[in-house]
Structure 1
């Protein structure tokens, strides 16, 4: 799967990009028709500890899913976002099977 990672107002290190790629590749186990995904990393300028925002957009044929998570670290936010996407993709897969 092609994963486009974009960071807003900071430079992302290669280790984080590799982590995101591994997590996003796991989504193909749940739904094999994922075309591409875009991951946006943002740091909000607030005094709160949970200021890391990850927004993931996944493109599948005929639809597009967007999940946004805010956590203390980017790794935690990516994990939470991929868990949410797993549920969404499994739900879509079961709906498609029901129509066959």
Structure 2
């Protein structure tokens, strides 16, 4: 599984990129046919503390799952996004199994 990370309006450090790889890599346990994952990190220029936007898009055969979160840190955004995607992947896998069973 390939993980593409793109940061907008800032340069992501190695520590953050490694964290993303580790967290997103864990999604393979929930769906074995993940083609690739795209992670977009954006910093909004606002006075709010929660100005970090994390978007995670997963490509699986015949479908595309996406989550967008706004948090104080990118680590928090990635973590919440991965939890949400775990549920989506589980539903998608269950749905495809139900279709095959018919």
Q: How does 1:31-46 map to 2 (within 5 A)?
A: 31-46=31-46
Q: What CA distance in whole angstroms lies between the structure 2 residues aligned with 1:91 and 1:65?
A: 11
Q: What CA distance in whole angstroms lies between the structure 1 residues aligned with 2:6 and 2:17?
A: 9
SS at structure 1 position matched to 2:49: coil
Matched, 1:93 2:93: yes
Task: Return the TM-score normalized by structure 2.
Answer: 0.96
Residue 2 of structure 1: CA displacement? 0.4
Residue 52 of structure 1: CA displacement? 0.4
Residue 28 of structure 2 corresponds to 28
Q: What CA distance in whole angstroms lies between the structure 1 residues aligned with 2:12 and 2:42?
A: 10
Q: What CA distance in whole angstroms lies between the structure 1 residues aligned with 2:85 and 2:76?
A: 14
SS at structure 2 position matched to 1:98: helix
What's the Cα RMSD here? 0.6
Residue 9 of structure 1: CA displacement? 1.2
Task: Return the TM-score normalized by structure 1.
Answer: 0.97
Runs of 4+ in 1 over 2 A off after TM superposition: none
Residue 96 of structure 1: CA displacement? 1.0
Instruction: List runs of 5+ in structure 1 lacking aligned partners.
Output: none
